[in-house]
Structure 1
Amino acid sequence: MTGTSPGALAGVRVVDFGHYLTGPLAALMLADQGADVIHVDRPGAGPGDADAFLNRNKRRIALDLKAPAEVGVARELIRRADVLIENFRPGVMDRLGLGWAELREVNPRLVYCSLPGFAAADPRAGVPGWEGVIAAATGNCRIRAGYVPAGWDPARPTYSSIPVASNFAAFCGAFAIVAGLTSRHRTGRGDRIEVPLYNAMFEAIGGSGAYPTARGLQPERAIRANGSGTYRCADGRYVQFNPIGATTRFLTWFLDAAGVGEWARDGLTDRPRMDREPHLRDLLEKRLTALFLSRPALEWEELAGAAGVPLAMVRTTREWLDSEHARATGEVVVVDDPVLGPTAMPGSPVWLSRTPAVPARTRSLPDGDRAEILAELALPVVRPPEGESGLPYQGRKVLDLTQILAGPSAGRILAEFGADVVKVNVPQRWVGAHGFVNRGKRTVLLDVKSSQGQQVLWRLIDEADMLTHNFPGRTADTYGLGYQHVRARRPDIVYVSVGCYARGGPWSDRRGYETQGQAATGIMARTGGDGPPAVFGPYNVLDYGTGTMAAFAAALGLYHLETTGVGQHVHTSLTQTGLYQQGWLMPHPASGPGPEALGPSPWQRYYQAADGWFYMGATEEQSRQVPDLADAFREADVSDWVERLAAAGVAAHPVTSLADLMTDPRARALGLSVDQVSEEVGPVVMPGLAISVEGNPPRLGEAVRRPGADGRDVLAEIGLGEAADTLARTWAIQLDALPPGWNHF
Structure 2
Amino acid sequence: MSGVFAGIRVVDFGHHVAGPLAALLLADNGADVVHVDRPGALDPPGGGAGDQWPDAYLNRGKRRITLDLRDPADRDVARRLAGRADVVIENFRPGVLDRYGLGWTDLDRPALVYCSLPGFPADDPRAGVAGWEGVVAAATGNCRVRSGQAPPGWDPSRPTYSAIPMASNFAAFAAAYAIVAALVGRHRTGLGERIEVPLYSAMFEAIGGAGAYPVARGLTTERPLAGNGSGGYRCADGRYVQFNPIGASTRFLRWFLDAAGAGGWAADGLTDRARMDREPHLARLLRDRLAALFLTRPAQAWEDLAASAGVPLVRTRTTVEWLTDPHARESGQVVQLADPVLGPLWMPGAAVGVEGVPAALSPRHLPDADRAAVLRSLVDGVEEPAGTGAAELPFAGTRVVDLTQILAGPTAGRLLGELGADVTKINSPQRKVGAHGFVNRGKRTVLLDVESPRGQDVLWRLLDGADVLLQNFPRRTAERYGLSWAHVRARRPDLVYVSVSCYGYGGAWESRRGYETQAQAASGIMCRAGGDGPPRVLGPYNLLDYGTGVLAAFAAALGLYRRATTGAGAHAHTSLTQAATHHQGVHLVGADRRPATEPSGPYALGTGPAHRFHRAADGWLFVAAPGDPPDLDFGSAPAAEWVAKLRAAGIAAHEVVGLAELMADPAVRARGLAVTQRSEEAGEVVMPGIAIGLTRTPARLGAPVRRPGADGPAVLAAGGYGDRDIEDLARGWVLQTAGLPSGWDDF
Question: What's the TM-score once normalised by structure 2's chain length?
Answer: 0.97
C-alpha distance in structure 1 between counterparts of 2:276 and 2:40, whole Å: 64
Q: What is aligned with 1:611?
A: 618
Among residues 447, 458, 473, which one is paired with 1:445 in the alignment? 447
Q: Does the CA-based 8 Å contact 1:118-1:197 persist in structure 2?
A: yes
Deviations 1:159-187 (A, max 9, x none): 00011100000000000000011111111
Structure 2 distance, partners of 1:493, 1:673, is 34
Shift of 1:705: 1.1
Is 1:369 matched up with 2:365?
no
Letter in 1 for 2:103: G
The structural deviation recorded for 1:114 is 0.1
Is 1:67 the counterpart of 2:71? The answer is yes
What's the offset of the Cα at 1:8? 0.7
**2:722 is the alignment partner of 1:718:** no
How many Å separate the matches in 2 of 1:165 and 1:744? 26
CA gap of 1:744–1:160, structure 2 versus 1, over 3 A, is: closer
Distance (Å, rounded) in 2 between the aligned partners of 1:555 and 1:385: 20
Render the CA deviation track for 1:562-588: whole Å, top value 9, x for unaligned: 111110111100001000000011335
Q: Which residue of 2 aligns with 1:162?
A: 164
In the alignment, the residues of structure 1 paired with residue 110 and residue 532 of structure 2 have an alpha-carbon distance, to the nearest angstrom, of 53
Match of 1:33 in 2: 29
Which residue is equivalent to 1:531?
Answer: 533
Pick one of 70, 73, 80 that aligns with 1:76.
80
The CA distance in 1 between the partners of 2:359 and 2:698, in whole Å, is 29
Separation in 2 of the partners of 1:523 and 1:45?
A: 29
Q: Paired residue for 1:593?
A: 600
Q: Structure 2 unaligned segments of length 5 or more: list them.
A: none
User: Which position in structure 1 is the counterpart of 2:13?
Assistant: 17
CA deviations over 1:601-638 (Å, ceiling 9, x no partner): 11110000101100001212xx2xx4432xx1100111
**Counterpart-to-counterpart distance in 1, 2:640 and 2:33:** 42
Q: Which amino acid aligns with 2:28?
A: D
Query: Distance in 2 between the 1:462 and 1:255 partners?
Result: 42
Does 2:90 match 1:86? yes
Between the aligned partners of 2:500 and 2:584, the Cα distance in structure 1 is 20
Q: Does 1:686 align with 2:682?
A: no
- The answer to whether the 8 A contact 1:56-1:364 is kept is yes
CA–CA separation in structure 2 for the residues paired with 1:484 and 1:207: 34
For 1:480-491, what aligned pairs fall within 5 Å after superposition?
Answer: 480-491=482-493
- Written as runs of structure 1 = structure 2, the 5 A alignment for 1:406-421 is 406-421=408-423
Which residue does 1:628 correspond to in 2? 631
TM-aligned CA deviation for residue 744 of structure 1: 5.8
Deviation of 1:592 after TM superposition, in Å, equals 4.9
Structure 2 matches for 1:168-567, cutoff 5 A? 168-358=170-360, 360-387=361-388, 388-567=390-569
1 CA distance for matches of 2:185 and 2:589? 37
> What is the root-mean-square deviation of aligned Cα atoms in Å?
1.1
Letter in 1 for 2:146: R
Please state whether the residue corresponding to 1:716 is helix, strand or coil: helix
Q: Distance in 1 between matches of 2:677 and 2:471?
A: 27
Residue 428 of structure 1 and its aligned partner are, at CA, apart by 1.3
Show the counterpart of 1:656.
657
- State the SS of the aligned residue for 2:608: coil
Aligned length: 732
Q: Distance in 2 between matches of 1:446 and 1:218?
A: 30
Amino acid at match of 1:82: D
SS in 2 for 1:335: strand
2:60 counterpart of 1:56: yes
Amino acid in the other structure paired with 2:617: A
1:123-142 superposed matches below 5 A = 123-142=125-144
Partners of 1:228 and 1:703 in 2: how far apart? 32
The alignment status of 1:734 with 2:726, answered yes or no, reads: no
TM-score (norm 1): 0.97
Tell me how far apart the structure 1 counterparts of residues 385 and 746 of structure 2 sit (CA, whole Å).
55
Question: Does residue 100 of the first structure (1) align with residue 104 of the second (2)?
Answer: yes
SS in 1 for 2:572: strand
8 A contact 1:713–1:721 mirrored in 2: no
Question: Matched residue of 2:514: which SS?
Answer: coil
Cα contact 2:708–2:742 (8 A) shared by 1: yes
Partner amino acid for 2:689?
G
- The residue number in structure 1 matching 2:678 is 677
Per-residue deviation at 1:520?
A: 0.3
The question of whether the paired residues in 1 share the 8 Å contact of 2:529 and 2:537 is answered with: yes
Specify the code of the residue in structure 1 equivalent to 2:6.
Answer: A
8 Å contact kept, 1:712–1:721: no
Task: Kindly state the Cα deviation for residue 385 of structure 1 after the two structures are TM-superposed.
Answer: 2.6
> What is the alpha-carbon distance in structure 2 between the residues aligned to residue 616 and residue 235 of structure 1?
41
SS of equivalent to 2:271: coil
Q: Secondary structure at the match of 1:733?
A: coil
Distance across 2 between alignment mates of 1:102 and 1:6: 31
- Structure-2 separation of matches of 1:704 and 1:569: 28
Output the CA distance in 2 between the equivalents of 1:260 and 1:159: 40
The structural deviation recorded for 1:430 is 1.4
Give the CA deviation at 1:680.
1.1
Which string of whole-angstrom CA distances, capped at 9 and with x for unpartnered residues, describes residues 260-288 of structure 1?
11011111001100011000000000000
Shift of 1:389: 2.9
Distance 1:307 1:101 in 2: 58
Q: Distance in 2 between matches of 1:617 and 1:108?
A: 38
- 8 Å CA contact 1:22–1:170 kept in 2: the answer is yes
SS of residue matched to 2:675: strand
Q: Is the 8 A contact 2:320 2:588 kept in 1?
A: no
SS class of match (1:380)? coil
Q: Matched residues in 1 for 2:228 and 2:332: separation?
A: 34
- Give 3-state SS (helix, strand or coil) of 1:98's partner: coil
Hey, what's the Cα distance between the residues in 2 that align with 1:701 and 1:379? 43
Contact residue 676 and residue 704 of structure 1 kept, 8 A:
no
Alpha-carbon distance in structure 2 between the residues aligned to 1:488 and 1:215: 49
Partner of 1:642: 643
Secondary structure of the residue aligned to 1:600 is strand
